[in-house]
Structure 1
Amino acid sequence: MSKPNKPVTSLLDSARTEAEAYQQGEDRPLGGYVAVMAVFASLIVGAAGLAAATGRRPPSRIEPYDAFLMAAGTHKLARTLSKDAITSPLRAPFTRYTETGGPAEVMEEVRGTSSIRHAIGELITCPFCLDMWIATGFVLGLLFAPRVTRMVATTFTVLTGADLLQLGYALAQRLQEGDRG
């Protein structure tokens, strides 16, 4: 078996030293974060290569309607994937249930058995973190399958509106009940 080459060993030692200095004794899975970022970057590079190979070009501009549709759809899909009780089986390998959250939502803690498992757990329990992945998916969807992408985004945008109406109705009920007492 060959010995690792000195510059590579030096680089790895330097990375470990920097990671330890950054973490300050806390459990921060920097290696897992690097792996998750590498997957994301690979997907982007792959999509760009596929777009180039198939002659697809990005639109010269995104229409405001599409931007709104994708923003609201991204919000709802991220919350659905990261917080809904019904999607907890998807998160279960990376998380543990801790308590009930907001309406139809659960709170979970990340399992930390490995750096990658921990990083994925953080990603899939954080709607803000998932936003980047989902928004990128919607934008790429506009490039490759705009009609289907708009249909999916519309579905989640309508759900966002319905959620706001449900919350508004519940608030109105609470206020009405408070007026009676």
Structure 2
Amino acid sequence: MTQGHVARGRFERAVRAVLRQPADDDRPLVGYAALGAGYAVTAAAALAASARNGTTGRPVSSGDLALITVATHRLSRLITKETVTAPLRARFTTPVGPGMASEMLEEVSTDPRHDPFSHAVGELLTCPFCMAQWCATALVGAHLVAPRQARLVTSVLTAVAGADALHYVYASLDRLPKPSD
């Protein structure tokens, strides 16, 4: 058994003991705890980088917040639903069928009782609402650490979200009854 497996086993036993999770509870609480710890470490690292840059106390402007909001929506759907990002999710999901335009419907493919970590990651990678928290944190962190570059990224994502909305409007207009000649 590798050192990683030993550490993982210890972590899993410790979390189950703290949470007092009964044996018949098949929720991947250990996986959720690991993801939560990873999120906390990532957010702390972003704050530390921001503190080093002297930007910790600087508020995000309302214009940047608007960009971040729309960009968060677009990025979370890109990661969790788009066909082109399916390879990122493939280890954790099983395709169910097509979703909305250029999107896939997938379900988590791991049994939470056998691999709570992979199951929790699969849930994160298939839920745009769950992923939005991570995306928003990353984008706000980027705005604090590298504002010019972050504005470029959020502007592109916001433009793509706007274009997506226009595609849906155009498609819905195309479905309207045609006037007779």
Q: TM-score, normalised by structure 2?
A: 0.83
Matches within 5 A, 1:1-181: 12=14, 15=17, 18-20=20-22, 23=25, 27-52=26-51, 54-113=52-111, 114-177=115-178
* Equivalence for 1:5: none
1:55 positional shift = 4.2
Distance 1:95 1:14, change over 3 A: closer
SS in 2 for 1:112: coil
| Identity percentage of aligned residues | 37
1:62 positional shift = 2.1
Distance 1:13 1:62, change over 3 A: closer
What 5-or-longer segments of structure 2 have no aligned partner? 1-12
C-alpha RMSD over aligned residues: 2.4
Measured in 2, the distance between the counterparts of 1:58 and 1:169 equals: 43
Measured in 2, the distance between the counterparts of 1:13 and 1:55 equals: 35
Question: Partner letter of residue 30 of structure 2?
Answer: G
Question: Partner letter of residue 45 of structure 1?
Answer: A
Moved more, 29-38 or 61-70: 61-70
- Work out whether residues 56 and 143 of structure 1, in 8 Å CA contact, stay in contact via their aligned partners in 2: no
1:96 positional shift = 0.7
Measured in 1, the distance between the counterparts of 2:149 and 2:71 equals: 13
What 5-or-longer segments of structure 1 have no aligned partner? 1-10
1:17 positional shift = 7.2
Moved more, 11-20 or 84-93: 11-20
Measured in 1, the distance between the counterparts of 2:123 and 2:16 equals: 26
